[in-house]
Structure 1
Amino acid sequence: MRLYIKSLLLIVLTIITACEDVIDVNVPEAEPRLVIEASLDWQKGTAGNNQTIKLSTSTPYFNTTVNNTVTGASVKVTNDATNAEYIFVDQNDGTYNITDFVPVLNDSYTLEVIYNSETYKAKETLMPVSEIKRVTQSLEGAFDDEVLDVTIFWDDPVDEENYYFINFYEEGDLFPFLEEVSDEFTNGNEMDEFFEKERDEDDGQEEFNPGDKVSFTLYGISERYYNYLQILIEQYDSGGDPFSSVAAEIKGNCINETTPDNYAFGYFRASEVDTINYTFQ
């Protein structure tokens, strides 16, 4: 009987190990594209003179070692109302900086990037934003009455369409939580947005606790950027869901005027920004 069992185990082990073949999957790779990270953020209470634009190239999904920074490009932003030109200086690490930018609310700005003899352009308006009035915490304001939640409040301007982008970050987290908001049904009223965390054993997430430190950054954004964010955040949130639709390539507002088919990834945005920090009690 023991001999039979040993023989059976040997056969099963042989079958299992014999089926362990290494399969090499050829993942198609697209030609690298220019990636433009150009967010001109005017933090309330500051002059807004210091700005940074980052350039890189796209890389294959599984390639984490290639240096994809872009140097040697020409980067300029122009105020369309005054024709004032702001030249961003190459820092030789993929970033381009300026220390004398002059932000003007509701003025239109044009970004021009010249790279590899091709010209990329994008246009955006510097959108204002209301001040964050207050932050509150509660056990009753969200979905679970047994865990803490936190809410920010701000006033929406009357008789105009407004769009907002919220970056919420808890100290110690790897990534922030992103949210896009419009005043379609709350025009002219006090607006609020709450955040709540539930314990998740799979990824180690814990609910909010006294002493936790969080920050909120509220951006005023254009309608076009709001629509871009909606698609971007929706695809990010559905990642890993087997029932979600297949992710589509998202195009920003950076147009290649030399070779239109060789468009860039990324977005040129201009926003007034308000930030507030909060510690749970």
Structure 2
Amino acid sequence: MTKNIKFTVFLALIITFISCDDKIDVDVPEAPPRLVIEASLDWKKGTAGNNQTIKLSTSTPFFDTTTNTSVIGASVRVTNNNSNAVYNFVDQNDGNYTITNFVPVLNDSYTLEVIYNGETYTATENLIPVTPIMNPTQSLEGGFDDEVLDVTIFFDDPADEENFYMVRIKEDTDLFAELETQSDEFTNGNVQEEFFEKERDDEDPEAEYNPGDTVNIRLFGISERYYNFISLLIEQYDSGGDPFSVTPAEIRGNCVNQTNEANYAFGYFRVTEFDEIDFTFQ
């Protein structure tokens, strides 16, 4: 190799390493903060359902380090559109608005009204009933991996009507719950089932379900609109990190700003009945 060639290669390497150290500033567009409404009025079977909480906060830019985004001073109420009963939620000064005398009535229509910064947000949903969970079963054959424990729940789907479901499962040690949705479009009136299995990790035997592990399983009856909303959220969450997934898009809930439509809120107002069991693997 001639001296000129050696010098050229050496110079190219120097330029490469120097360019790796250069700081690149990327302008990330920042949207103005929006109201975030977490209004899930969930009624557990066999309980009064009178204690309910609605949480309000504001959104923040992606790189913002603000930790306290709680909204205080808002007016929050829910109206039963069938009986005209009004339920005023009390501001706890921490972003939570609570009530102790809510009366859930299956299939009744409810409207949420939030007044914040002089603007009124509303949303309407029906209280959807749900069928009870049958005895769950565990196996090594019901899932994708025949060396990993899985749990399956069963429930009867009412005939001659459209039904939509959300299943939530969470182990004691899990930071987040796992969610699945289901409709009876092709199985109307039949016994439905949903199974859950954790992926095996050879380096961490505790990652999968093991004998002695306890999981909490909830089955919710949900509206078709909420089914579509939460299914899209689950799809985007599960595809995180997948280079072949569809580009994530903003998903809007059912909360509408009646004062200024452009200043819409994030979140969803749902009213559901749910059944719940705790299952321990053997």
Q: TM-score, normalised by structure 1?
A: 0.92
> Which aligned runs of 4 or more in structure 1 are off by greater than 3 angstroms?
11-15, 200-205
**AA partner of residue 254 (structure 1):** C
CA RMSD of aligned residues (A): 2.1
Deviations 1:36-90 (A, max 9, x none): 0000000111100000000011101121324211000000000000100000000
Q: What is the alpha-carbon distance in structure 1 between the residues aligned to residue 139 and residue 81 of structure 2?
A: 46
Distance 1:136 1:66, change over 3 A: closer
Q: 1:170 touches 1:212 (CA, 8 Å); kept in 2?
A: yes
Partner residue, 1:247: 248
Cα distance in structure 2, aligned partners of 1:103 and 1:190:
27
SS of the aligned residue for 1:226 comes to helix
Q: CA offset at residue 19 of structure 1?
A: 3.5
Report deviation, 1:175: 1.3
Greater displacement, 217-226 / 145-154: 145-154
For 1:141-160, list aligned pairs within 5 A.
Answer: 141-160=142-161
Corresponding residue for residue 211 of structure 1: 212
Superposition pairs of residues 72-221 of structure 1, within 5 angstroms: 72-200=73-201, 206-221=207-222
Aligned positions of 1:12-91 closer than 5 A: 16=17, 19-91=20-92
CA contact (8 A) 2:148 2:200 kept: no
The 8 Å contact of residues 198 and 205 in structure 1, kept in 2 or not, is answered as no
- Match in the other structure for 1:261: 262
Task: Give the secondary structure class of the aligned counterpart of 1:132.
Answer: coil
Shift of 1:15: 6.0
Whether 1:236 aligns to 2:241 is no
Task: State the Cα deviation string for residues 229-252 of structure 1 (Å, max 9, x = none).
Answer: 111111111111111121111010
Comparing 236-245 with 49-58, greater Cα deviation is found at 236-245
Higher mean Cα deviation, 203-212 or 213-222? 203-212
AA aligned to 1:183 is D
- Bigger shift: 169-178 or 203-212? 203-212
Give the match for residue 225 of structure 2: 224
Q: Residues of 1 paired with 2:223 and 2:261: CA distance? A: 24
**CA shift in 2, pair 1:225/1:14, >3 Å:** closer
Q: Which secondary structure state, in structure 2, belongs to the residue aligned with residue 225 of structure 1?
A: helix
The secondary structure found in structure 2 opposite 1:87 is strand
Equivalent-residue separation in structure 2 for 1:109 and 1:46 (angstroms) = 19
Measure the CA separation in 1 of the matches of 2:183 and 2:215. Answer: 23
Q: Distance in 1 between the 2:18 and 2:203 partners?
A: 30
The normalised TM-score by structure 2 is 0.92
Structure 2 gap segments, 5+ residues each? 1-8
Deviation of 1:215 (Å): 1.1
- What secondary structure does 1:260 align onto? coil
Number of aligned residue pairs: give it: 274
Partner of 2:4: none
Q: Secondary structure at the match of 1:30?
A: coil
Query: Shift of the alpha carbon at 1:194?
Result: 0.6
Cα-to-partner distance string for 1:128-177 (whole Å, 9 max, x where unaligned): 00111111001112222221111011111111111001111122112111
State, as a whole percentage, how many aligned pairs show the same letter. Answer: 68
**Cα pair 1:79 1:109 within 8 Å, conserved:** yes
